[in-house]
Amino acid sequence: MARAMTVTRFAPSPTGRLHVGNIRTALHNWMLAKKRGGRFMLRIDDTDAARSREDYVEAIRSDLSWLGLTPDGEERQSARLDHYERAFEALRDAGRIYAAYETAQELELKRKIALGRGLPPIYDRAALALTEAEHAAKQGEGIVPHWRFKLDHDQPIAWEDGIRGTQKFDPATLSDPVIRRADGSWLYMLPSAVDDIEIGVTDVLRGEDHVSNTAVQIQMFTALGATPPRFAHEALLVGSEGKLSKRLGSLGCDAFRDDGIEPQALVALLARLGTSLSVEPIGDVAALVETFDLATFGRAPARFDAGELARINTALIHELPFAEVAERLPDGMGEEGWLAIRPNLDKLADAADYWSLVTGPVDAPDLSDDDRTYVAEAAQALEWSADPWHTLTGTLKESTGRKGKALFLPLRLALTGRGSGPEMAALLPLIGEGEARARLIAAARA
């Protein structure tokens, strides 16, 4: 029997911007689908009407586009409410959903009592013992129930996790999850399972904080007459200090863009973060997809280091071809200009500053009397050639006996106003003969 096409999904709630943990989850699901020639779906989990916002939906789409993670399809939970209603009715008819009436305060008290007795703080299923008369009395008092999914305690839960290996849960150690609030709104569990079934999701790759959710949802899939997808749970991100960092929850694509991070750098880092593969400045996403393998994922927390991201970003910028960045460069900068300044860039936004060394104006430096005499001689000695910088410095070395820093630095200061920067051999032809001579003369007279 042919294996079904791999279908993965990324399912953010549009209640805020994507953060680095979300981005990593989206990336790994996209890579898993691409590695197997499958489909990557975007599911907008917007059942929480009070907190979901359309501008966040647009931001999610924009961020995925910036990263190059184009979905092969999109679904919105707010458009699928009737699907959840049908599943709810079927499960209730099958005796797998029951009404419960406890308030949040009552449930918290029950948890504290259980903990005090050394028992697991799970729901005691008191609502299952209510008689029809007691249900009627609750309703007569105007108490609206919430609804729980009834776990089958006689069916042990087990699956082969793509990262964690064999996983086993005793359902009696888990609370029957609330799947629907008293106001009729949905919680995560049931709609997610219904969507995965109907969209045809074959692989669910998500954070290890969802392991117990998976145990519950496996029984939901079975109760709905479906085969559960394959599950894999990856280690969560931690900050460079080794602790879960609140900062990671605020680092999103907008923050990375504002900080001059290229999408290729973020993809290169997150693609292999938490795996046994080395993190390298690989700009070819196809090469990253080729090496993607769940078997390389470790169980230890994945450490996110902003410094490492910056280093990868710098390395990738140094390899970016002109055609890929041309529209983002300052006016007038052509390929020669790009190649001249590229080795000095940490961020593409710095290109304008370095390009100003070519376009000017350049402030005349404060030189010593000897150096002013020296640059005046340079203005006279300047001859334009295929390599005017080395021609000039070669001539001056012969005529003045200067070498090293004494030979090069006064010329750089006179020509650019700075003591460091791109290679002068590349800059000088861009500055041009007339402008270069004018700058040397101005420095000599300053």
% the chain with pLDDT above 70? 98
Strand ranges across the sheet with 178-180: 97-100, 146-149, 178-180
Paired with 230 in beta bridges are 203
What is the Cα–Cα distance from 440 to 443, expressed in whole angstroms? 5
The candidate with the shortest Cα–Cα distance to 438, out of 413, 406, 422, 414, is 414
E strand or H helix that includes residue 169? strand 165-169
15-48 tens-digit pLDDT: 999 999 999 999 999 999 999 999 999 999 999 9
Instruction: Decide: residue 220, CB within 10 A, 0-12 exposed, 13-18 middle, 19+ buried.
Output: buried
Locate the domains of the chain by residue range.
Answer: 83-180, 322-357, 360-445
Query: For position 3, what pLDDT does the model report?
Result: 62
Average pLDDT rounded to a whole number, residues 362-373: 94
Q: Record the pTM.
A: 0.91
Nearest to residue 387, comparing CAs of 416, 423, 422? 423
Strands 146-149 and 97-100 come out as: antiparallel
Going by C-beta distance under 8 Å and a sequence separation of 6 or more, which residues neighbour residue 297? 163, 232, 234, 235, 274, 275
Distance of CA 382 to the CA centre of its chain: 51
Residue 1 has pLDDT above 60, yes or no: no
104 pLDDT tier (thresholds 50, 70, 90): very high
Structure confidence at residue 94 (pLDDT): 97
Residue 6 — pLDDT band, cuts 50, 70, 90?
A: very high
Whether 344 has a pLDDT exceeding 80, the answer reads yes
Report how far residue 238's alpha carbon sits from residue 259's, in angstroms, rounded to the nearest whole number: 20
Q: Which amino acid is at 223?
A: A
- The DSSP secondary structure of 5-26, one letter per residue, reads PPEEEE---SSS---HHHHHHH
Residues 6+ apart with CB under 8 A from 63: 17, 18, 23, 252, 253, 254
Quick: pLDDT tens for 310-341: 999 999 999 999 999 999 999 999 999 999 99
Q: Count the Cβ atoms, other than its own, within 10 Å of residue 421.
A: 17
Given the structure tokens 């340079």, which residue do they identify? 378
| Superfamily name with CATH number, domain 83-180 | Glutamyl-tRNA Synthetase; Domain 3 (3.90.800.10)
Question: Which of 2.10.109.10, 1.10.10.350, 3.90.79.10, 1.20.1370.20 would CATH assign to domain 360-445?
Answer: 1.10.10.350
CA atoms within 13 A on the CB side of 364: 17
What phi and psi, each to the nearest 5 degrees, are found at residue 5?
-60, 140
What are the start-end ranges of the E strands in 210-357? Answer: 230-234, 237-238, 302-303
pLDDT digits (tens, 9 = 90+) for 384-420: 999 999 999 999 999 999 999 999 999 999 999 999 9
* Three-class secondary structure of residue 385 per DSSP: coil
Close Cβ partners of 79 (under 8 Å, ≥ 6 residues apart): none
Residue range 284-296: average pLDDT?
A: 97
My answer on whether omega of the bond before 361 falls inside 30° of 0, hence cis, is yes
pLDDT band at 246 (very low <50, low <70, confident <90, very high): low
For the CA atoms of 396, 400, 403, 409, what is the dihedral angle to 10 degrees?
Answer: -70
Average pLDDT over residues 219-243: 91
